[in-house]
Amino acid sequence: MAIESSLKPAVKDIPLSRDELLRKNKILVVDDVAVNVQLLTTYLTSVGYDVLTARDGEEALERVAATQPDLILLDVMMPKLNGFQVCERLKSDPATKVIPVIMVTALNEIEDKIKATESGADDFVSKPFNKLELLTRVKSLLRIKQLHDELRAKVRELEQARERLRQLAITDGLTGLYNHRYLKEHLEQELLRAQRHQLHVAVVMLDIDHFKKFNDTYGHPAGDTILRTIARLLKENIRKIDLAARYGGEEFCLVLVETNKIAAAIAAEKVRRIVEAHYFNHFAVEAPNVPAMADWTPNRPAEESAPSLVAVANEMAAGEWRDGNSNTNHNHVSKNRITISMGVATFPDDAVELSQLIEVADQRLYCAKKQGRNQVVTD
């Protein structure tokens, strides 16, 4: 419906502030009558707004999705989708519901104004309308939207700050791994899940061999670097669904979900060998040649097929794994190497309670140290 030619001109325009001019708000004008679009565009651009246009409801929805305008002037009487329907769709979409909508209508019945409000419109103006009134309503709603946007930004900042604080509360400051507190919370949840779905969970306690002697020899800063390096190696060599945590001092813990004892033994042995093979450059001696992980092979003829997990675990337990390039006993620790001892316990085979599971893994860690260190003990 065209706007009547008897419109009274505004006494004066509503000038935009410097901040408003810098923001250059985008306003979408939706009307199927070209003269209406032209008049509204003239009014809005005269005070510094950017104006986008759409000729019907469907085009309006497309323009909103593509441009995210700051405010919409929406005619009611349009083909395809009327203004009420367009407004309802906009307000039901989380991505667009905060965009202010002003209904522009020649309908003056109170029922029509109620319907505009019920469809989600933030305001409405009746045709014929006054330019000053229109610009005042536009400016008022844009200021409200700006405050709303600023409030949402503050809320996001607070949420991000809260998340940073939460991460600090559950993270070990030195290594960046999860701390003892979070380890227990996480393990408790995983045990409940495992019990509910009849799954296995493995706990691996590990300790750096001769760490006190290393600290006394090379100093605590070097010791801290060793702790950080071990933490990185652990994190890089477990699955994303597993968890590595610093238990305390030079002791760490791995939580391997949906993992039985055989698979846990293989995972622990892999980590042990990676640590043993790593060159720690805090020593004043040159590192010897250490085979890559791919060179570690079971002591079997080359023509045999790949072993099963059970066979690998059995060979580990029997001490039949060796360096593919030499027969060096892995209990030998060179001056360029750090080694770790590990104890493995699994739910529900070894324990069903959290504290018992950790205790069993810790006891097996103690056995690994007592038996010569640099090894994995699973029973």
The CATH fold of domain 18-155: Rossmann fold (3.40.50)
Does the pLDDT value for residue 110 go beyond 50? yes
- pLDDT tens string 29-49: 999 999 999 999 999 999 999
pTM (two decimals): 0.60
Q: Assess whether the region 18-155 and the region 171-377 belong to the same CATH fold.
A: no
Tell me which of 316 and 345 has the higher pLDDT.
345
User: Does domain 171-377 correspond to CATH entry 3.40.50.300?
Assistant: no
Does the pLDDT value for residue 323 go beyond 60? no
Asked if residue 345 lies in contact with residue 202, where contact means CB atoms within 8 angstroms, the answer is yes
Most confidently modeled range among 101-110, 128-137, 257-266, 305-314: 257-266
CA–CA distance, 157 with 48 (Å, rounded to integer): 31
Lowest mean pLDDT segment, chosen from 125-139, 314-328, 344-358? 314-328
As a whole number, mean pLDDT of residues 181-192 equals 97
As a whole number, mean pLDDT of residues 269-295 equals 65
Does the pLDDT value for residue 112 go beyond 90? no
Q: What is the pLDDT of residue 294?
A: 34
Domain ranges of the chain: 18-155, 171-377
Tell me which of 366 and 110 has the higher pLDDT.
366
Phi-psi region of 325 (alpha: psi -120 to 50; beta: other; left: phi over 0): alpha
C-alpha triplet 197, 198, 201: angle, nearest 5°:
100
- How many Cα atoms within 13 Å fall on the side-chain side of residue 334? 20
Please tell me the total number of residues recorded for the chain in this structure. Answer: 379
Does the pLDDT value for residue 348 go beyond 70? yes
Does the pLDDT value for residue 331 go beyond 70? no
Q: What is the pLDDT of residue 19?
A: 57
3-state secondary structure of 183: helix
Residue 229 backbone dihedrals phi, psi, to 5 degrees: -70, -45
